[in-house]
Chains A and B, each alone.
Chain A
Amino acid sequence: MDGLGTRRLEVLKGHLHGQGDVKPSECSAVKSSAPMSSTKAEVQRAFPRHRQEVLKWNGWGYKDSRFAIDDKGLTCFHGHRYAIGDVQMPKVVPWMVEEVGLELSQTSFSQPHPSPKELPSPIPCRDFVDEIRPFCADISDEPGDRLFHSHGHTCHELFALRTGKIGRLVDIVVWPANHSQVESIVRAAVKHNVCIIPFGGGTNVSGAVECPANEKRPVASMDMTDMDQILWIDEENLTAHIQAGIIGQDLERKLQDKGYTCGHEPDSLEFSTLGGWVATRSSGMKKNIYGNIEDIVVRVRMVTPQGTVERNFLGPRNSIGPDIHHFMLGSEGVLGVITEVTVRIRPVPQTRRYGSLVFATFESGVAFLREVAKQRCAPASIRLMDNFQFQMGQVIKPVPSLWASFTDQLKKIYLAKFKGIDLKEMAACTLLFEGTAEEVAVNEKKIYTIAASFGGIPGGEENGRRGYFLTFVIAYIRDLALDYSFLAESFETSVPWSRVVDLCENVKTRVKKECKDHGIATPPLIACRVTQTYDAGACIYFYLAFKYTGISDPIGAFDEIEAAAREEILSNGGSLSHHHGVGKLRKPWVQSAISPTGVSMLKAIKQQVDPQNIFGAGNLIPT
């Protein structure tokens, strides 16, 4: 007991002191590495069951949080949930006009929310509903619910919503509350031949929750977010057993209340669910300390039409043939639905510190990251932004005070004149250190020493913080772009170190050429960053946006350009996906990625577990 007691105390101490290391002024800028949408500890859930009450139906995030350009051409971020709330950012518009050809007159605002009459009426499934109604927490065929549960966040899906081109919708939404309810619902679905599409945060960017257009059966969206309980915490073994529908920010808040963290921070943390992370093989920003989702999970329970699949032990490793977890990780809702997950947890770190570095070129930055990976001393997060992203970070800022703009100017002069760095060429690296104060100090020293040998110049803590913060608002920027005749998307890959630089360069070149060939007049925005480092390679994240004014079929052009970018990635040694998953969007490339035999193995599993195709979202497995 003694051991446990002491540890508990330490954990709590860590928690109490955790923020203590961070100066209060810095706290105000960003509240955590991921912004917590709510500050009230007593709130149990970030948003209500019918999420469209607080979340946008046709865009990213909260209804009350958005970028807008006012009559004077000034950009402002509305809402108080984030640190940049309600301040004007005068540099954004001029910069966008200059860099990507923004024209304020070319608006393309969204259609209003379609009225119930405009939506296809649901295919009835009365028998199914009658069977589950007695135990199911909630069932809805309200148009608003159905619409919200029928899309993810690909550019394609949002463009369709915004232009009023509503396709096949789910026919009903069900909210189970626990594992056995899920089992009963799946049994009923098998009995009445109802198609189920599991729904977590709905933040996927792969078309994974879209209904297959040709699905003639009733489709039920299984919204998992009522299943948000931490069932137990095992402090001895540092594990927690959690219902899979818990939203990322709720999970972190609840764990941190007890002095722990899961440490998994995908960019969608505010909205995505634990089960969604498992089902897509997600990756978190701080994977260098906590691991990616496959490292974090200890046990997964998944309900399939054939019953529940699970490992009946909590041991840390096993040698029992191919790991059945790998049939669940990345199964994208086509084999079953994930209900409960045991994860590793860690005490909340005492110290968290940001940092940043400036490199003369993207290449030298990559060389630095490679060396860090080689020496295996990567901090919790290390990222490298290309010049474009760096510039973007610099303009999404409030009006600087006179003093701040003066020092900004001094910094520029210092870099350009004294360090010989071309501001149009340089790349920026952002760092996040976590651990005990000593660990962080040692790690920082090592990182800055390595950086120096690649010509890296420290750029201060504030720039590092901004870098991470921008990750969470960038999705809001896309909505702004969509308002002004742009199409925008992000995509990612992983690639061996030796090909990182060329892949980035070649993909950019290919996208520019494709845009030109498609008659897109203004050069596109195509920017990238290295977001993860591994022993053998790195993860690269791209942003793509272009103005489609004058193009007759913008989304058709967009699809072709995105496909060309994907082809180029594959041709340069990149993987089909690092963490976004396959969904429907990347299915055409699966066979060449994993060999026909590999596909037949997946098909055999699908056939065995779900012969009726109850989990009929149609993701991942090529037909």
Chain B
Amino acid sequence: MENYLKLDFDAADVTFALRQHHPEASERGGKSCSSQQTKQEALKSPRLQRILEEVAEESSRELKDVQKEAQELLEEIGHKMALPAVRSLALVLRSVLRRILKGVFVNKPGLEKLKEAVRQWPVVLLPSHRSYLDFILVTYLMFEHNITLPSIAAGQDFMNMAGVSSLLRRSGAFFLRRTFGSDKLYKAVFTAYVQTLLCSGDSPIEFFIEGTRSRTAKSLHPKYGLMNMIVEPYLDGRVPDVVMIPIGISYERTLEEELFARELLGVSKPKESTGALLRARTLLGENYGSIIINIGSPVSLHDLCQSKGISRIPHVLYPRDYTMMLTREREMIFELGHMIVHQTYHCMVVYPSALLASAVLYQSRGVPLGELVPMVEWLRRELEERGVAVYWEGGDTLSLIHSSLQMHSVCVELTSSDLVRPRTCHLMSKLATPSGHTPSMVELLGMTLDSSELHLITEISYVHLMLAHYRNQLMFALIPEAMAALSLYHFLPCDKASALKRFDALHCALYKEFVLPKRVPTEMFQDTMHRLLDRGVVVSQRPGDYTLNSQKEHVLAFLESLVAPFVAGVWVVCHHLLSMKGGVQSVSATVHGAKVLAAKCVKEGVVKSYETLSLDLIRNALQSLTESGLIMQHTSEVEGRDRLVKVDDLKGLQALTRELEVMVTSGPSRAKL
């Protein structure tokens, strides 16, 4: 931790309140604009003016009215950054965090680079997003270190929280609507605002490329809307470069862990309201460990474009307010999005709690404490070999496990017989089917599930999903290997062709679940196989043939276990879709149906993982299947209705289901780690 600085929560509040905030002046001629100036300048931008005229003409309205509307929209969007607000927010924050945290740490070299970049370039900060706390942590950090404060893109949900929205606004948050695809005026106004911030101001822009908090703590697919708005001014020569800085914010214990688990199960998703946030205050008596903010290496958009051979020259042949993206540029932005998400996650630190959760989920009936120690240590080594930073706070493993168990007592327990298991483990016995007969899918579909059983299963899932939230934190480093492992483990010895076929099916099923590259996965498979062979996890006696290395079977088994729950989930969704027999169903009905089917599968032991009940998993499965053209989702003709789901390629879906089935249902019990 010698490269980390601890944020100073200890200095007296008075000292802190009187602290000056005078960042060094921008060297690039960016001017510190007042929030009102920014809005005015945005409104004056030639491009917005042109679009306002177009809108007026298309809707036969007076230009003046449209301009007025634009002005109102700017008021809705724009921040009202004011230092006193930041100061008071910071004061509240530090007094709260002081009570519940051991500390917030930030990497020194990253902070230095950030400071330098903000002075010299238009900067975009791209933090990971796992908690509402992310909104203020970066600002707090920059305030404490005397760096120009960022303007932060926030979802409009916040605007419903009366006091909070105004406090956020005054701390530099600006608001965007969740969807504005077809609203030309809104889109133009918002774009103008963001681009004015980027081009004329001296404050960095901060937004969450994943769009929303990752409830599962896995990376989410990047959102491209803001990315496009950021890239455009560079292509158009309005800024010399845009420097993007990924920031990984790792929580030892996520503040919203229970909320997320509830949301994932669809159990009363509370609307973000001030009330809910206040209720969250009851959590404040607890221990949330520490937070590590790891600022990644700045990514220069200019350098990236150079390396991809993207020239700005095509844009100089048009008037400045006519920028349009070329295909190659869109592709570049797509790759850039993936790259940033990837880098953000590689900035993250893995806490022992993630190792603990992984071990517990691997053996969800319980792990004897004595076995847990070597398991956790083994996992740590495996991760560190892969270049993952594991937070290891001195001390011996056992005491680390103890403190982790204490911190995570909501989801994991240590029984009197020294067994570490999910807190709801005892409930599982109530579900055990007496007969021992495993029903077929057809039987399952016909079965009914009474509400008390569903309730029980949901309760178990709830804790499993919380654990999964921690286990998933090491997913980013292992996904390709885990997919390869699943396509191999139960089939070894096997040939490359069949493994690749299964890998291909996994890529198709998990495309949205994980941030996988869009390309044909052959390359990814080969890369990964190289790595597995290098590590001796599998061996190859002849080229194209893989056999098990019994010494390393546990590695394969563990890797496979990481991805198996997700594949099982997709498989259940496939079955539900096939059961529709060519009919049409609304998305919500489909999701619900798949969830109930998952619950039945879990109850009957057809599927082992309680995570398959996750609505997020089901929705991602639908997206992945849509992406690969197996099903279709189309907008209902009745307005306000949900979109409709329909199987488009029955044969393809059947084939995929079969392919997944082999992987999900086969296999002996797991090897010991």
Chain A residues in contact with chain B, CB under 8 A?
498-499, 502-503, 505-506, 509-510, 513, 568, 570-573, 592
Tell me if B316 and A509 are in contact (CB < 8 A).
no
Q: A509-B28, A568-B240, A573-B237 are in contact. Are A499 and B320 (CB under 8 A)?
A: yes
User: A506-B240, A510-B240 are known contacts. Are A498 and B316 too (CB-CB below 8 A)?
Assistant: no
A499 and B316 form a contact (CB under 8 A):
yes
- B120, B316, B319: the one within 8 Å of A572 (CB): B316
Closest beta carbon of chain B to A275's beta carbon, Å? 33
> Shortest distance in angstroms between A577's beta carbon and chain B's nearest beta carbon?
16
In the complex, which residues of chain B have a beta carbon less than 8 angstroms from the beta carbon of A571? 237, 311-313, 316
Q: Please, which residue of chain A has its CB at the minimum distance from the CB of B311?
A: A571
In the complex the two chains form, what is the Cα distance from A506 to B28 in whole Å? 9
B307-333 interface with A by 8 A CB criterion: 311-313, 316, 319-320
Q: Which residues of A have CB within 8 Å of B239?
A: 502, 506
Question: Contact mask B80-103 → A, CB, 8 Å, 1/0?
Answer: 000000000000000000000000
Is chain A's interface secondary structure helix, strand, loop, or mixed overall?
helix
Q: Is B238 an interface residue (CB 8 A)?
A: yes
> Which size bracket describes the interface of B in this complex?
10 to 19
How far apart are the CA atoms of A379 and B316 in the complex, in Å? 29
CB of B237 within 8 A of CB of A499, answer yes
Taken together as a complex, chains A and B put the C-alpha atoms of A501 and B332 apart, in Å, by 27
**Residues of chain B with a CB closer than 8 A to A570's CB:** 313, 316
Q: Which residues of A contact B238 (CB under 8 A)?
A: 502
Q: Are A509 and B319 in contact (CB under 8 A)?
A: no
B235 nearest in chain A by CB position: A571
Interface residue B29 (Cβ < 8 Å from any Cβ of A): yes
Tell me, in angstroms, the Cα distance from A509 to B120 when the chains sit together. 8
How far is B120's CA from A568's CA once the two chains are assembled, in angstroms?
A: 17
A568–B313 CA distance with the chains assembled, in angstroms:
10
> Could you give, for residues 547-568 of chain B, a 1 whenever the CB lies within 8 Å of some chain A CB and a 0 otherwise?
0000000000000000000000
Main secondary structure of the interface of B (DSSP, over half): loop
Q: B28–A572 contact, CB under 8 A?
A: no
Chain B: which residue is nearest A499 at the CB level? B237
With a CB–CB cut-off of 8 A, which chain B residues contact A502? 237-239
- With A509-B240, A568-B240 known to touch, is A498 a contact of B313 (CB < 8 Å)? no
Per the bound structure, the CA–CA distance linking A502 and B319 in Å amounts to 14
Is the C-beta of B241 less than 8 angstroms from some C-beta in chain A?
yes
Residues in A whose Cβ lies below 8 Å from that of B121: 509
A243 to B238, CA, bound (A): 47
Interface contacts beyond A513-B240, A592-B313: sample of 6 additional A-B pairs, CB < 8 Å, sorted by A: A505-B29, A505-B240, A506-B237, A513-B241, A570-B316, A572-B237
CB <8 Å contact, A503 and B241: no
| Chain B residues near A505 (CB-CB < 8 A) | 28-29, 240
| Contact B313 A503, beta carbon cutoff 8 Å | no
A-B contact pairs, 26 of them (CB 8 A): A498-B319, A499-B237, A499-B320, A502-B237, A502-B238, A503-B237, A505-B28, A505-B29, A505-B240, A506-B237, A506-B239, A509-B120, A509-B121, A509-B240, A509-B241, A513-B120, A513-B240, A513-B241, A570-B313, A571-B237, A571-B311, A571-B312, A571-B313, A571-B316, A572-B312, A573-B316
Would you list which residues of chain B between 246 and 268 have a CB under 8 Å from chain A?
none
Q: Within the complex, what minimum Cβ distance (angstroms) separates B320 from chain A?
A: 5
**Is A498 within 8 A of B240, CB to CB?**
no
User: How far is it, in angstroms, between the C-alpha of A568 and the C-alpha of B240 when the chains are bound?
Assistant: 8
Smallest beta-carbon distance B577→chain A, Å: 49
Q: In the complex, how many angstroms separate the beta carbon of B298 from the nearest chain A beta carbon?
A: 12
Residues of chain B from 29 to 60 with CB closer than 8 A to chain A in the complex: 29
Flag if B312 contacts A498 (CB, 8 Å): no
- Bound CA–CA A112/B313 (angstroms): 45
List, in ascending order, chain B residues with CB within 8 A of A513's CB.
120, 240-241
Q: How far is the CA of A498 from the CA of B315 in the complex (A)?
A: 13
Nearest chain B residue, comparing its CB with the CB of A505 = B29
The 10 A-B pairs of least Cβ separation, nearest first, read A573-B316, A506-B240, A509-B240, A571-B312, A572-B237, A498-B320, A502-B237, A502-B238, A510-B240, A509-B28
CA distance A570 to B316 in the complex (A): 9
> B316 — which chain A residues lie within 8 A by C-beta?
499, 570-573
Interchain nearest-CB distance for B664 vs A (Å): 52
- CB-CB contacts below 8 Å: B230-244 with A: 237-241
Q: Shortest distance in angstroms between A524's beta carbon and chain B's nearest beta carbon?
A: 13
A505–B28 alpha-carbon span in the complex (Å): 8
Q: Which residue of B lies closest to A503 (CB)?
A: B237
The CA of A506 and the CA of B30, in the complex, are separated in Å by 12
Distance in Å: Cβ of A594 to nearest Cβ of chain B: 13
B98 CB to closest chain A CB (Å) equals: 40
B237: which A residues are within 8 A, CB to CB? 499, 502-503, 506, 571-573
